[in-house]
Structures are given as C-alpha cells and as structure tokens.
Amino acid sequence: MTTWNRLHTDSPLGRMTLAASELGLCGVWFDGQRHGPSLEQIERWTHAPGHPLLLQAAEQLQTYFAGQRQSFDLPLDLSHGTAFQQSVWHALLQVGCGQHQSYGDLARQLNNAKAVRAVGAAVGRNPITIIVPCHRILGAGGQLTGYAGGLWRKEALLRLEGHPLPMPAPTTSSLFPE
C-alpha cells in the first residue's frame, strides 16, 4: 500500500493541498478543484508539516506566485494514472512558461491526432496543477477552455507568466494586476 503525505499551503489563488509519495510529488490541487481528491481521501493521508519535499514544493510555488520562478525542480510521481494519462502529463512538462499549445497540438505531439477529446480529459485530470502546466493548454483558436481549478485561475496563471495572448479581464477580482 502506498503511503502519501500531505501539506496544505495558501496561495494568491486559494488554499492548496500538496501530496507526496515515496517516489516524489504526486499531487497539487486547489481546494474544491474538479477531479481532485475528496476531503475523506486527503484526511487518510499523513499530515506531514515537516516533510522536506512538500516544504520544497510549497516554497517553489510561493516563488512562482511572486513572479520569481518560471520552472520547477522537484521529483515528480506521475504514476497514478493510466498509461495514456501519464503520457499526456509528461508531454505537458515540455510546454514552457509563457508558451501554450492547443489540445490538438498535444494530441499530434503524442502521435494520436484524433485523440483530442481524450487528451482534454487527461489534461483535466492532471494531479499536479501548475507544476505540470495544464493551464498552458488552450482551445484551437487560443481561447481559454477548461481548467479543473476554474477558468479564472487559468487566466490568472497565464497572466502571471506574461502570456502573449490578449485576454479579457477575469470575472473575479484580478489577483495579478497588469
């Protein structure tokens, strides 16, 4: 049986839960995020406020939100999904800060151009938000589509990264002014 450790951290976009397995960081979710673990699941994990990897992940996320980090240097455990999901999550790691791809681009990169919907579903179930940058995947015309943490968060993350596309003002108060 896999033992997971957890830590909660605050961010400008809301409280987050971080999880680590023996292999690495295996989860980063905003509270209430779609496709995230239930509160009951989280409560079964060991609360580990001094866990070195979780503390390092929380610190790297804070420097990211402060605009001082564009990439993450953490051991990841992406083994908790299907083989297809894992391939999508690994492909997401290739989309750099300030860049984006469409779901179709990602499907073609995986040599499965007809799997756009399956790619979208796998992106939506990414267990390590921000660090595995699913927010950098946009609709075919560059529009903001789907984000398990909420479109307002996706827009805020892209704005923080200096994304070049003009985007409308967020529907909630802007956390990252221009």
Answer yes or no: 97 catalytic: no
Spatial separation of the C-alpha atoms in residues 95 and 123, rounded to whole Å: 13
Cα 156 to Cα 75, 133, 144, 150, 160: the distances in Å are 26, 13, 11, 10, 6
Answer whether residue 170 shows pLDDT above 90: no
Mean pLDDT of 152-177: 69
Of 134, 137, 138, 157, which is the active-site residue? Answer: 134
Write out the H or E segment, with its range, that includes residue 7.
Answer: strand 5-9
pLDDT (0 to 100) of residue 81 = 95
Report the 10 Å Cβ neighbour count for 147: 23
Q: Using alpha carbons, select from 1, 136, 156, 38 the residue that is nearest to residue 169.
A: 156
Q: Write out pLDDT tens, residues 140-162.
A: 888 888 899 999 999 999 999 99
Chain segment 36-49, per-residue pLDDT in tens? 999 999 999 999 99
Provide the pLDDT confidence category of residue 110 given band limits of 50, 70 and 90: very high
Average pLDDT, the chain: 90
- State the pairing for strand pair 5-9/16-20: antiparallel
Lowest mean pLDDT among 47-56, 83-92, 164-173: 164-173
Residue 127 has pLDDT above 60, yes or no: yes
